[in-house]
Amino acid sequence: MPRDGSVPPQRAESSGWDNPEGIIAIERPGWQAESACRFVEDPAIFYPSPGDTEALWAAKATCSNCPVLDKCLEYALGNNERYGIWGGKSTRERLLILRAKRMLEAGEA
């Protein structure tokens, strides 16, 4: 789970681990049901520690075969996801995309 409390990409069908009492309604985007990462054994690879290139590339390899990569990336960009690998992009890569989009919108590029 990201440190900011947001819901990470779905890595498996929800078994209620994140909401055992049903107190908080967590609505997952529908596209997550088609994600390649839902079958990944170790979801932690999507939140690699600094320097953990093995986990980083394992996550990116999973994303590269994901049928909802574009939706995932769009979601992460639109929701300012600050942690983890989303749509095959790291936090830094997403920040660069957002910066480029802002520059394009401002006519600076």
Q: Does 45 bind ligand SF4 (CB under 6 A)?
A: no
Which amino acid is it at 51?
A: G
Q: Residue 80 half-sphere exposure, CB side, CA atoms within 13 Å?
A: 2
Residue from 45, 48, 72, 81 in contact with ligand SF4 (CB under 6 A): 72
- With CB under 6 A as the contact rule, the residue among 47, 48, 63, 94 that binds ligand SF4 is 63
**Considering the rule CB under 6 A, would residue 8 count as an interface residue with ligand SF4?**
no
State in angstroms the smallest separation of the CB of 109 from ligand SF4: 26
The residue written with tokens 């929800």 in the block is: 14
Alpha carbon distance 91, 33 (integer Å) = 23
* 35 counts as binding ligand SF4 under rule CB under 6 A: yes
The answer to whether the CB of 64 falls within 8 A of the CB of 39 is no
Residue with tokens 């995932």: 72
- Write down the least CB distance from residue 87 to ligand SF4, Å: 5
Dihedral of alpha carbons 32, 20, 43, 98, sign: positive
CB of 86 to ligand SF4, least distance (A): 5
The answer to whether the CB of 94 falls within 8 A of the CB of 81 is yes
Ranges within 79-98 binding ligand SF4 (CB under 6 A)? 85-88
What residues make contact with ligand SF4 under the rule CB under 6 A? 9, 35-37, 46, 62-63, 66, 68-69, 72, 85-88
